[in-house]
């Protein structure tokens, strides 16, 4: 829609200045990422939070949500699937 400008005639419609590249929901958090993050946080080697974020390619908000416990359901789901796939078998020699 064009608007009439009193001093210059008709004005052109303005373009929106919002960036569309980084908008929307963040990438999907997988149970494996949550497990790796918790594993690195509890490791005996003291790794800084920034190093963990760089290693796993996580944003600060996602990292701190994982650390605080928002994604514990994904962590439990990862453990349940790995426990189901794990079996103790004795190899015969």
| Predicted confidence band of residue 81 (pLDDT cuts 50, 70, 90) | confident
Which of 38-42, 72-76, 89-93 is least confident? 89-93
Residues 13-68 have pLDDT tens digits of 666 665 555 555 556 888 888 999 999 999 888 889 999 999 998 889 989 999 99
Q: How high is the pLDDT of residue 50? A: 92
Helix (H, G, I), strand (E, B) or coil at 9: strand
Question: What's the predicted TM-score (pTM) here?
Answer: 0.58
Asked if residue 41 belongs to a domain, the reply is yes
Within-domain flag for 24: no
Eight-state DSSP code of residue 29? P
Instruction: Give the domain extent around 77.
Output: 29-84
Whether residue 12 lies inside any domain: the answer is no
Residue 78 CA to residue 83 CA, distance in Å, equals: 9
79 within some domain: yes
């Amino acid at each position: 829609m064009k608007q009439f400008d009193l001093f210059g005639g008709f004005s052109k419609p303005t373009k929106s200045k919002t960036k569309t590249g980084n908008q929307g929901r963040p990438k999907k958090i997988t149970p494996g990422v949550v497990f790796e993050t918790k594993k690195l946080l509890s490791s005996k080697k003291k790794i800084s939070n920034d190093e963990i974020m760089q290693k796993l390619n996580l944003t600060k908000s996602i990292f701190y949500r994982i650390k605080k416990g928002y994604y514990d359901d994904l962590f439990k789901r990862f453990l349940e699937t790995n426990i189901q796939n794990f079996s103790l078998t004795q190899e015969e020699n």
